[in-house]
Structure 1
Amino acid sequence: MHIDIDQPREIAVEKLKESIPKELWDANEQFINQLKTSIKCHALASNPIIELLNSGQFNHQAIKNIHLEYRHAIVQIFTDALLIAQYQARQLEPRLPAGTKMIARFLLTLNVLDEFGFQPGTSSTEYYRGNPAYAHYPLFEKVLNELNISIEERANYKPSQIAVEVRQYLEQSYDAYIAVVALLAVAEQQVILYSPPLRQATKSVGLNVEHGYYYVHGISSDTTALAADDDHEDDLWFTLIQACTPDIYQSVTSMCMHYCDLWNQFWLHQLELNAALKR
């Protein structure tokens, strides 16, 4: 029997749809679409620091500060949270049929593969392609190297209270599959919003952003990067559509909007913290 393996994302989404009743999928999808609209209209999407980052207003020290804060808030723990989401997909059973958790895990793996440094295609020996040197976290550390941030500075850095709160809010979701998936989807939206401005701000202080961390973050239609954060955000929302039930709509909404509030406060703090470090 021939089984199609050439469209893994599309196949997984169809399998997700088939795993719950159509009426529930339609209701959950409507809820998620409303939630996505609320997130896109949140103040996080129009934070004043976006324009300043895009126009290269911050000096080298400010960019160092922002990267150290961002490292603590999300970069260090992003793959931790993804792996926790894969593990906690076990919570889908026994409410859903045995084996259903593997569909969600399959879809989440596409994000994990990118994060870990794998690349699409097969090698000359018909095996997976990739190198851990292309993993996103090490690529971010290379940006810190290029910003002349020493290992000692990184180890001794004391993050702001809001950076600690942003990190802790995601970490505190690890016990609940639906919570960690929802917050990861919001985190991906934050990455989509702020990676291009951070790329421009980093470029403005002399770094080459045509490779490395900033080359692999952003949206798939951006011709200046090789990124797929929009695809990964969609994947997370699809897994959430599979997992949700109407009785938790309000709690999921409250949780996501609070995470947006924290991220907005984080970026407002970066603006205040570095106000004196403009060009």
Structure 2
Amino acid sequence: MTIIVDDPRKNAIEALRASVSTSVWASNKQFVSDLKAEIKQHALASNPIIDVFNQGLLSLDAVKTIHLEYRHAIVQIFTDALLMAQFQTRQLEPRLSPGSKMPARFLLTLNILDEFGFQPGYDQSNYYKGNPAYAHYPLFEKVLDDLGVSDRERLHHIPSQIAADVRNFLELSFPNYNSVVALLAVAEEQVILYSPPLRESVKAIGGHVTDGYYHVHGVTTDQGTEAADDDHEDDLWYALMQGATSDQYDQIRYICLAYCDLWDKFWTFQYNVHCRHLFPTPLSALAENASRIIY
């Protein structure tokens, strides 16, 4: 039997689909499609701070603080969550066939390779290309360097309660495979929505954005970047199409929308703290109970 190695993403998705029945795949695909549509209509997608970022209206101090908040909320733990998702694929095998965890691990690896600083192609020794200096977390730290944020400021930054809530919500999902995969997909959507505006806010105060962190965040159709967050989001939804069962739909939907609520509340908080001199009327905060989900 000839095993095709070209187009690894397609190969992994086909393996995911083959690991469950046609009816389960169709049901899960419809559930995911409906959930994605609901997420795209969420208030998170139109928070007013997006326009503030795009217009470059914020001061250097505001941009610095927002990046420290964002660092705590998601950047520091994103790869933790990806690795936990890879590990928790082991929950698939008691229900599915032996080896059924591997297509999902394979697909998640494509995201992890980007996050860790690998690059497509072969080096001069016909081996993988990459350098940990290109890992996304260190690239974000270089953004802070460029903004003039000292190591002391990073160490002693006290995150807002909402930044802590956003971080804790994702961390609470780590023990459950479908939960962490679903929330990672939401996180990727948030990255797609907010990375380009954040890039503009950094650019407006003279920050360097033509390479580095903001060059590798966004969508594949943006010709000015080398970003693939849309592919990675799709991959996570495909993983959920393999892993979800119909009795979990309500809970998965609930936590995804609660995570969107928290992110919208996070950005509303940043707006109210940093934009009041521009827009005196503060935005109303969302309900506090969104951060109190128990898995």
Q: TM-score, normalised by structure 1?
A: 0.98
Confirm or deny that 1:61 pairs with 2:40. no
Checking the alignment, whether the CA contact within 8 Å between 1:59 and 1:277 is kept in structure 2 is no
Partner-residue secondary structure (3-state), 2:74: helix
Matches within 5 A, 1:225-244: 225-244=225-244
Provide runs of 4+ in structure 1 moved above 3 Å.
Answer: none
**Aligned equivalent of 2:160:** 160
Q: Which residue of 2 aligns with 1:129?
A: 129
Q: 2-side partners of 1:232 and 1:157: how far apart?
A: 30
Report the Cα distance in structure 1 between the residues aligned to 2:221 and 2:142, rounded to whole angstroms.
25
Cα 1:159–1:277 shift into 2, 3 Å: farther
CA contact (8 A) 2:146 2:208 kept: no
Aligned-pair CA distance for 1:94: 1.1
- 2:285 alignment partner in structure 1: none
User: Aligned letter for 2:140?
Assistant: F
Segments of structure 1 that go 5 or more residues without pairing to the other structure are none
Distance across 1 between alignment mates of 2:102 and 2:242: 12
User: Given the alignment of the two structures, is residue 220 of structure 1 paired with residue 220 of structure 2, yes or no?
Assistant: yes
Percent of pairs with identical residues: 59
- Give 1:276 shift: 4.7
The answer for the alignment partner of 2:25 in structure 1 is 25
Contact 1:58–1:277 (8 Å) recurs in 2: no
Matches within 5 A, 1:94-105: 94-105=94-105
Q: Deviations over 1:80-132 (max 9, x none)?
A: 00000000000001100000101100000000000000000111211000000
- Normalization by structure 2: what TM-score? 0.93
Q: Secondary structure at the match of 1:119?
A: strand
The higher-RCO structure (CA 8 Å, 6+ apart) is 1
- Equivalent residue, structure 2, for 1:80: 80
Superposition pairs for residues 1-279 of structure 1, below 5 Å? Answer: 1-276=1-276
Contact kept, 8 Å, 1:62 with 1:277, in 2: the verdict is: no
Displacement of 1:277: 6.3
Residue 2 of structure 1 deviates from its aligned partner by: 3.1
Q: How many residues align?
A: 279
